[in-house]
């Protein structure tokens, strides 16, 4: 079971994420209270020589600009969190994660048809795309039959509920941001506890 910690904003937090075995870290380049610049992300990336994989989160950004930031910040993966059509993803030169807000009206088969390496299912939209600290009803997804090896589960996850989420959904990875923060700042104790909870219930 892989873990993505999103909303990384400083070198110390990134290095601690590396130390505790985080698989992916996310830099948010879209409007957000966790937004970073390409220069900030590049400075952090310079300290991460052996992982985790670096994910850049974008919302309806110009493809050329995405590629420029990805190159400058040494990103490994691009995460699309807007209304980017399939042809947009096909233009990108790095692996793609496509995020969708989950609801009963969402067709899982349509989601899986999107040309992305990984699919992220998040809660409904809030003030920002992602990172709103709320979860959707996991039971709605539990009875869906589909290949979950491309699935990242996000939305409202934290150390106290992530084991239940994994048991219910059986995703390939989980994504957390606000769930490992205290007063809007990444909390090292919560980060470590989250990782321990995930690895303790590992099903993959």
Please, are residues 123 and 102 in contact by the beta-carbon 8 Å criterion? yes
* Distance separating alpha carbons of residues 58 and 99, to the nearest angstrom: 10
93 Cβ contact list (under 8 Å, min separation 6): 67, 70
Query: Known catalytic residue: 202?
Result: no
Please, are residues 44 and 26 in contact by the beta-carbon 8 Å criterion? no
Cis omega (within 30 of 0) on the bond before 36?
no
Query: Known catalytic residue: 23?
Result: no
Please, are residues 171 and 147 in contact by the beta-carbon 8 Å criterion? no
- Per the structure block, which two tokens stand in for 17? 């994420």
- Please name which of 50, 99, 38, 98 lies closest in space to residue 74, comparing C-alpha atoms: 38
Q: Is 130 left (phi over 0), alpha (psi -120 to 50) or beta?
A: left
Catalytically annotated residue among 10, 110, 122, 202 = 122
Active-site amino acid positions: 6, 122
């Amino acid at each position: 079971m892989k873990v993505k910690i999103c909303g990384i904003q400083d070198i110390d937090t990134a290095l601690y994420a590396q130390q505790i075995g985080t698989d992916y870290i996310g830099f948010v380049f879209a409007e957000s209270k966790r937004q970073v610049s390409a220069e900030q992300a590049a400075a952090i990336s310079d300290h991460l020589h052996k992982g985790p994989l670096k994910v850049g989160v974008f919302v309806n950004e110009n493809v050329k600009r995405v590629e420029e930031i990805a190159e400058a910040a040494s990103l490994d993966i691009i995460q699309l969190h807007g209304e980017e059509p399939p042809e947009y993803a096909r233009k990108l030169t790095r692996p793609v994660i496509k995020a969708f807000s989950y609801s009963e009206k969402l067709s899982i088969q349509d989601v899986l048809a999107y040309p992305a390496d990984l699919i992220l299912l998040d809660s409904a939209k809030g003030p920002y795309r992602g990172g709103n600290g709320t979860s959707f009803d996991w039971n709605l997804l539990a009875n869906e039959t589909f290949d979950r090896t491309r699935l990242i589960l996000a939305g409202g996850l934290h150390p106290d509920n992530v084991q239940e989420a994994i048991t219910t959904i059986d995703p390939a990875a989980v994504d957390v941001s606000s769930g490992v923060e205290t007063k809007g700042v990444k909390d090292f104790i919560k980060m470590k506890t989250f990782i321990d909870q995930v690895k303790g219930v590992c099903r993959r």
